[in-house]
Amino acid sequence: MNELDALVESARAGFAQATTPADLENAKARFLGKSGRITELMKGMAGLSVDEKKSRGAAINLTKQAIETALGERRQALLDAELQAQLQAEALDVTLPGRQRGQGGLHPVSLTLERIEEIFGSMGFDVAQGPEIESDWFNFTALNTPEDHPARSMHDTFYVEGGTEAAPNLLRTHTSPMQIRYAVQHVKKYRARIDAGQGMPEIRVIAPGRTYRVDSDATHSPMFHQCEGLWIGENVSFKDLKVVFTDFCRTFFESDDLVLRFRPSFFPFTEPSAEIDIQFQTGPLAGRWLEVAGSGEVHPNVVRNMGLDPEHYIGFAFGMGPDRLTMLRYGVNDLRLFFDGDIRFLSQFR
Ligand code: DAH
């Protein structure tokens, strides 16, 4: 290998050792710089003849070009490596699944409440909402519930400070106070007509909402839901209650052969009173009697507290448990699951 070829080789090796652009510039200076090897070779031609200069100069030029080519290749290789490193560092795996927004849904009990409102709505029932902090009067007294009734015990009800109609003092234990609240408003609106003996449009309302009792186990929660129903007119009988409630249950459970039983019971605000049980003819619960509501013909004292004459106005009321209806509809066996907020449970109802 002649001296010039060896120089190209050593330049190539020097460039190969450079791993950064700065290293490479240093290596370049050693060969192509002002006082680099090529310049040295040029200077070394001073004493040569014209012909010798020609051939020697051409050879040195080729050498210089070869070194420049080697330099260009190395420069490009370093740029490529740099780009690769950058691409690696900023790598995006476009095959990874995207981050999805969680898909929400209504709570199973809300689904039931919507369903109840829809079914009773189709039967001409209004939907009313009322306060969860209630007064003694609406929750008990107006509903013909005497002072010494056990439900008034501190152990059964959540009491808070206060205790007047203006400053309510307890968390309502049922939605029944809405019977009075709604009816009083209704009667007020039609007072003049009623007094003139022209009667009033019938009261037909359901009142769903949260209710509270000091109770907690697999089938009782301190907060639970109820839905009150009330239909007052001049001739609304127990028979109407049976028709309406049977229709409701069969529609709600989508089961035409569902059987209802009105079991005699006692509530201070109804007379007669009945507990309503249902029985499925097919499915996992077939044959068992399942309690779903309390009901009855509204007690004359309660009709009076609505501002109406019980000799003229009569009707039925019921109070059912949407939580229980939800358990029966979906086959849930522990009420507390509804209120734990466990997304694994809740997402099954989407
Ligand atoms: N309020 C009653 C309870 O919570 C349920 C009830 C029974 C409501 C009879 C009514 C009714 O409207 O007529 O146990």
Helix (H, G, I), strand (E, B) or coil at 103: coil
Residue 203 to residue 182: CA distance in whole angstroms? 9
The pLDDT of residue 74 is 94
Residue 1 has what pLDDT? 67
For residue range 210-246, what is the model confidence (pLDDT) as tens digits?
999 998 888 888 999 999 999 999 999 999 999 999 9
Cα of 7 vs centre of ligand 1, distance in Å, is 106
> Is residue 338 pLDDT above 70, yes or no?
yes
Question: What's the pLDDT at 92?
Answer: 87
Query: How many Å lie between the centroid of ligand 1 and the Cα of residue 294?
Result: 5
Beta-carbon contacts of residue 310 (< 8 Å; ≥ 6 apart): 300, 301, 303, 304
The label of the residue with tokens 């709604």 reads 182
Which residue among 242, 292, 298, 318 has the greatest number of ligand 1 atoms within 8 angstroms of its CB, and so is best to mutate? Answer: 318
Does the structure show a pLDDT above 80 at 154? Answer: no
- How far apart are alpha carbons 270 and 316 in whole angstroms? 8
Whole-number pLDDT of residue 153: 80
- Confidence at residue 165, expressed as pLDDT on a 0 to 100 scale: 63
Confidence of residue 102 (pLDDT cuts 50, 70, 90): confident
- What's the confidence (pLDDT) of residue 147? 82
Atom 4 (ligand 1) nearest CA: 174
Sign for the CA dihedral angle at 31, 35, 38, 44 comes to negative
Q: CB-based contacts of 154: which residues, under 8 Å, 6+ apart?
A: none
Lowest mean pLDDT among 255-264, 294-303, 338-347: 338-347
User: What's the gap in Å between 175 CA and the centre of ligand 1?
Assistant: 8
Task: Over range 309-314, report the average pLDDT.
Answer: 97
Mean pLDDT of 125-130: 98
Closest atom, ligand 1, to C-alpha of 226: 4
pLDDT in tens, 271-284: 999 999 999 999 99
Q: Which long-range contacts (CB under 8 A, 24 or more apart) does 196-200 make?
A: 199/234
Closest by CA to 134, choosing from 179, 187, 81, 76, is 179
State the distance from the centre of ligand 1 to the C-alpha of 6, rounded, in angstroms: 107
Pocket of ligand 1 (CB under 6 A): 174, 176, 228, 267, 270, 273, 294-296, 317-319
Relative to beta strand 314-320, strand 126-127 is unpaired
Report d(CA 62, CA 277) in Å as an integer.
Answer: 107
User: What is the Å distance from ligand 1's center to 227 Cα?
Assistant: 9
Q: Is 223 helix (H, G, I), strand (E, B) or coil?
A: strand
Over the stretch 163-173, which tens digit does the pLDDT of each residue have? 676 677 899 99
Atom 14 (ligand 1) nearest CA? 294
Rounded-to-10 torsion of CA 76, 3, 5, 46: 70
Q: Using the mean position of ligand 1's atoms as its centre, give its distance from the Cα of residue 78 in Å.
A: 85
Residue with the bigger pLDDT between 151 and 266: it is: 266
Using a 10 angstrom Cβ sphere, with 0-12 exposed, 13-18 middle and 19 or more buried, the burial of residue 234 is: exposed
